[in-house]
Amino acid sequence: MTTVMSASASAEETAAAVPAPVTMAAALNAALADSLAADDRVVVFGEDVGTLGGVFRITDGLASRFGERRVFDTPLAEAGIVGTAIGMAMNGLVPVVEMQFDAFAYPAFEQVTSHLAKLRNRTRGRLALPVVIRVPFGGGIGGVEHHSDSSEAYYTHTPGLRVVTPGTPADAYRLLRQAVACPDPVLFFEPKRRYWSRETAVLSVDGPPVDRAVVRRPGKDVTLIAYGGMVATALEAAAAALEEGWDVEVIDLRSLSPFDDQTLTASVRRTGRAVVVHEAAGFAGYGAEVAARLTEQCFHYLEAPILRVTGFDIPYPPPHLEKFHLPSTDRILDAIARLQWEGDNA
């Protein structure tokens, strides 16, 4: 895939480079606004993203600011939304479309995997498809099935797509700006449970490129690997692990495809232990690929098997049961304790 293009900062961003409290929802809104302002080719559309401002209000105010020709509502037809975006990109526009919920994207799956992911290869590079598909994903909001899926593995398995997901408000801004500036199609997974999480940050495109993982907390005993909504949970677990005497390094993957082998292998070779955390079901989940890659590249450095803490292999449960289904701090600490025991008794 082509190297990610850089997203230039707007004058407003430069003038406002003062740390301030911001939610992930507000950061995403700012990223869309700045992308629209920076490039007249960018268009934003999807179900209810115009007048309403989106189910989660991520596009609030954009239609009134940029007009209905650049931010507009569509019929409830996900395959049509993505198919239209492909046609627009083939003709020089930069579409940013929203799937209202994760599982609502499945009707568009054929358009994404058969056409969006393959047209560049099919045309031997003559056609670039700079399409961003925003997908609110994951649970933790008391939603029912079809509203709480973690479908990232379907797309990471498809060559030709970039798949990224932010774990913090600042990264939500940075990654979305970089995704819009990228000539490749990008599946942008937004952890809806973190839309209202807040941090004090400067919203800037400066920082690690879109395809690099980052160390959120350095440590020496265990590498804890997470992405999206699980980054905050992993950091909570790392803080709690200090009481047990475990110094846990937390890595935020950010980019699920392509995968940053360099950052991950450097950490695991140093700590000798690793746990991968994600909300999706464990069987054939994204964590299985992470564990396999790290085992292949770090086998002689490992003190214990790489473990996974995931959602259970069931359809997403009713709201009152999701707290048992989703990875928790306690489940992560149990996995770390098992690593320590197995390493000490190997």
- Say which residues have a Cβ less than 8 Å from residue 24's Cβ, sequence separation at least 6: 166, 168, 169, 172, 190, 191, 194, 195, 196, 197
Burial class (CB in 10 A: 0-12, 13-18, 19+), 268: buried
Place of tokens 């797309």: 155
- Return d(Cα 121, Cα 336) in angstroms, integer: 43
- Return d(Cα 5, Cα 177) in angstroms, integer: 10
Nearest to 215 by CA among 164, 249, 173: 249
CA of 273: how far to CAs of 112, 239, 337, 343, in Å? 36, 17, 11, 8
How many CB atoms sit inside 10 A of residue 20's CB?
Answer: 11
- Return d(Cα 305, Cα 42) in angstroms, integer: 46
- Say which residues have a Cβ less than 8 Å from residue 6's Cβ, sequence separation at least 6: 178, 181, 205
User: In degrees, to the nearest 5, what angle opens at C-alpha 251 toward C-alphas 274 and 228?
Assistant: 110
Nearest to 284 by CA among 164, 150, 167: 150
> What tokens appear for 300 in the block?
């002689």
By annotation, the residues acting in catalysis are 147
